[in-house]
Amino acid sequence: MSFFSEFETSVFEIIAANPQVNHAVIGMSRLNRAIHALTIGHGEKSVLVNATHHANEWITTLVLTRFIKEYANEIFKSNITMHCIPLVNPDGAEFVTDGFSSEWKANICGVDLNSNYPAGWDIAKKNKFARGFTKPGPRDYVGPAPLSEPESCAMAAYTTFYDIDITISLHTQGEEIYWRYPGFNPPGAEELARRFAAASGYKLEEVPDESSHAGYRDWFIQTFNRPGFTIECGLGENPLPLSQFNDIYKKVSELLKVVIFP
């Protein structure tokens, strides 16, 4: 069974076992694969957790899916609404897990989805082009325009429609937490970042210049001036091996509990 098929099976198992979990398809990928969202709870504060913007970081989809399975009932009783989009880049993840290229981060059209958002897109384009990423390829191509891809469009539309309060994006690797975007200091963001670090053991870091701008977190902070976080899970070279899954899951689940069960 393919990675995407196994993922969809997990989604439908979650829905069947937890009637309180709401399910929606928020868009379709370039190859017409569904982008699934699962929503749990009716609390006043909304938290959106997403995974696998980058194809070879697919282990984060497994981490988030397991968290939903294990904590759906507790989340429903909490004072938050948790929105989960476990597989932002289904085509890319399928491409990597089918063995075509372990270095592939982009969507199937060769656009790096986490460099395709409007915040500082022109700056990101200049920086990436200077490093040779001028056309579709495995990584770092920003696309022909901001939100040119259906996957990034779906994320931006969903986030805006539900007026999300906090976003957490699961990536790999480095065991680091990024929470800043230049010129913005969302209320409560630094305190929450420090609590995430204490719970997970991950370090608070500044985003490297070559990775700054045009990311989902950048766009969210710039657009809403609310806390947005990138969590770089695990250590090593992407794609991280499944042997790291339990360690990653333990640390990330403790981090997520901070915001879900405050």
Q: Is residue 190 one of the residues assigned to a domain?
A: yes
258 — pLDDT class (breaks 50, 70, 90): very high
Predicted pLDDT of residue 33: 98
Residue 116 forms part of a structural domain? no
Give residue for tokens 């009932």.
Answer: 73
Would you name the residues annotated as active-site residues?
A: 232
With respect to residue 201, please indicate whether it lies within any of the assigned structural domains.
yes
Q: Is the pTM of this model over 0.75?
A: yes
Total count of domains within the chain = 1
Residue 72's domain spans which residues? 3-102+151-260
Residue 77 domain-assigned (yes or no): yes
For the domain that residue 247 is a member of, what is the CATH number? 3.40.630.10
Instruction: pLDDT band for 212, please (50, 70, 90 cuts).
Output: confident
| Residue 262's pLDDT band (cuts 50, 70, 90) | confident
Closest CA to 132 of 122, 124, 143, 140: 140
Residue 231 has pLDDT above 80, yes or no: yes
- Signed CA dihedral, 66, 62, 50, 239: sign only: positive
208-236: average pLDDT: 93
The torsion angles phi and psi of 243, rounded to 5 degrees, stand at -65, -20
pLDDT one-digit tens code per residue, 98-125? 999 999 999 999 999 999 999 999 999 9
The predicted-structure confidence for 138-159, as pLDDT tens digits, reads as follows: 999 999 999 999 999 999 999 9
pLDDT band at 209 (very low <50, low <70, confident <90, very high): low
* Residue 139 covered by a domain: no
Angle between helix axes 59-77 and 3-17 (nearest 10 degrees) is 10
**Stretch 217-230: mean pLDDT, rounded?**
98
202: Cβ contacts below 8 Å, ≥ 6 apart: 175, 176, 177, 196, 231, 232, 251, 255
